[in-house]
Structure 1
């Protein structure tokens, strides 16, 4: 399971984030600067826990703080907070949560009392349920669809501290938001070029199953109903969201931008 989680996180750091960042209004002329932070972060995943992996993870943490600075600059320039902007700032803020969890996990430090497995999964969660989901909500949705993804993400985070019922509430809100985003992606596919449309349909369709699995997982910890074991959740919910929803969705948005530009 550890290898699979690290592979998913590496995908987020090295491919999904650098593909997604240029789609945001805080874009820079190049995302090559991101790799100066992401490559050390990805390498830290595959090294034994210790001083070297901690140092490399800390470099990644600094890179995620740059994203928060970009979010603050954007807010200062516009000084308004629409539903879409909530999604935008969530996308830019959540990688820092993942990076903090990564530094703690590489340090063998049980941050806030969470064991190392939970911290490792937190790194993956806030790259995809955090950055990627909020990014797609910003790019494809508005109103309830745009704001419910960030809201669900925050409630899930609070559930880590306040208990399983709160986490279940967060899972329901996040699932609602993700399904709304999925519906927006399906509608968007109708006017897209064929290859882009296929990517959009895959991205939106994957959410039907993966988010249902998330709700059954959270419900099972509250009401003792059946749910998949952790290893199977990583292999199904985790991988499908990362590749099917995240990677395909970001690729579709990049293709749309390229088609519009050319």
Structure 2
């Protein structure tokens, strides 16, 4: 799997998450605190590590700025929602916008392969996550959404919005994709905003078929990425640790996408265990393991300049 994981982001994020856990006393998977923990885990550990590994953060000053912004975000989640908490969440929003600007400039100066589009999509979609976290800390739920939906949006765009396209872009750089692999890639890239549009349309009372279609598109694309990694796990000649990480990504991401597919069809049939709390406990955790833990392990080599 290439180079050893650099420890700055991992140690800093780990300490922050321990502080959050101790501050709250306990964090239960079916409670809102679990979603907050997933947001912080993505913001403090996985997203900065992915940025670092892709060569986005080129200097120690840039890395330090990102780490500090995530610690300020942690402080926002140790406060009661309000103006102060929102102001503490603002630096993470500014970092995401700065990174999008850098990614846009690089895209304009480089060949526009599908892998480049996937990498740019990660930075294009990512600011929605920090913006949702800002809204959550401000205790403002626009368009009549519930507060838990806003918080879940923050989690979704750290993992499905950023880390999944980041994984996909690394995958696409390995070899020329087949026709079905290209279809899976586009299903992911189009499915991410489509899900947001579908959920918003349902909120305005529009027939839920659009949300169901978008969730199906996204889930099938994610399953395609999962099965693509299953093929890598079975490929001979790969180091054992790389194959195990690819297998873990397949199992966790695949499970998370199957749950998303079932939940996307909830307006037509809903398994009794797929309530919103169970979704963020199961689906959220599986996505965290899949594109977070195993995604970082599979693609931990330094891909400097490939963002």
The two structures have a TM-score, normalised by structure 2, of 0.77
Shift of 1:257: 4.6
Q: Determine the structure 1 residue equivalent to 2:125.
A: 94
Shift of 1:152: 0.7
User: In structure 2, do the counterparts of structure 1 residues 28 and 165 end up closer, same or farther at CA, with 3 Å as the change threshold?
Assistant: farther
Please give the alpha-carbon distance, in whole angstroms, between the structure 2 residues aligned to 1:102 and 1:150.
22
| Counterparts of residues 3-152 of structure 1 (less than 5 Å) | 3-24=33-54, 26-30=56-60, 31-78=63-110, 81-141=112-172, 142=177, 143-152=182-191
Q: Determine the structure 2 residue equivalent to 1:246.
A: 292
Shift of 1:203: 0.8
Shift of 1:25: 5.8
Shift of 1:71: 1.4
Please give the alpha-carbon distance, in whole angstroms, between the structure 1 residues aligned to 2:292 and 2:154.
15
Q: Determine the structure 2 residue equivalent to 1:171.
A: 215
Q: Give the helix-richer structure, 1 or 2.
A: 1
The more displaced of 239-248 and 115-124 is 239-248
Shift of 1:173: 1.2
* Larger relative contact order (Cα-Cα within 8 Å, sequence gap ≥ 6): 2
Q: CA RMSD in A?
A: 1.9
Please give the alpha-carbon distance, in whole angstroms, between the structure 2 residues aligned to 1:32 and 1:243.
25
Q: Determine the structure 1 residue equivalent to 2:16.
A: none
Shift of 1:249: 1.3
Q: 2:135, 2:141 within 8 Å by CA — same for their partners in 1?
A: yes
Q: Determine the structure 1 residue equivalent to 2:228.
A: 184
The more displaced of 55-64 and 20-29 is 20-29
Structure 2: 5+ residue stretches without partners: 1-30, 203-207
User: In structure 2, do the counterparts of structure 1 residues 61 and 257 end up closer, same or farther at CA, with 3 Å as the change threshold?
Assistant: closer
From 214, 239, 242, the equivalent of 1:196 is 242
Q: 1:12, 1:128 within 8 Å by CA — same for their partners in 2?
A: yes
Q: 1:44, 1:57 within 8 Å by CA — same for their partners in 2?
A: yes
Please give the alpha-carbon distance, in whole angstroms, between the structure 2 residues aligned to 1:257 and 1:65.
23
Aligned pair 1:159/2:189, yes or no? no
Runs of 4 or more above 6 Å deviation: none
| Counterparts of residues 220-239 of structure 1 (less than 5 Å) | 220=266, 222-226=267-271, 228-239=274-285
Structure 1: 5+ residue stretches without partners: none
Please give the alpha-carbon distance, in whole angstroms, between the structure 2 residues aligned to 1:82 and 1:123.
28
The two structures have a TM-score, normalised by structure 1, of 0.90
Q: Residue 131 of structure 2 aligns to a residue in which SS?
A: helix
Deviations 1:40-85 (A, max 9, x none): 123212321122211111111111111111111112212x543222
Please give the alpha-carbon distance, in whole angstroms, between the structure 2 residues aligned to 1:28 and 1:158.
35
What is the aligned residue count? 255
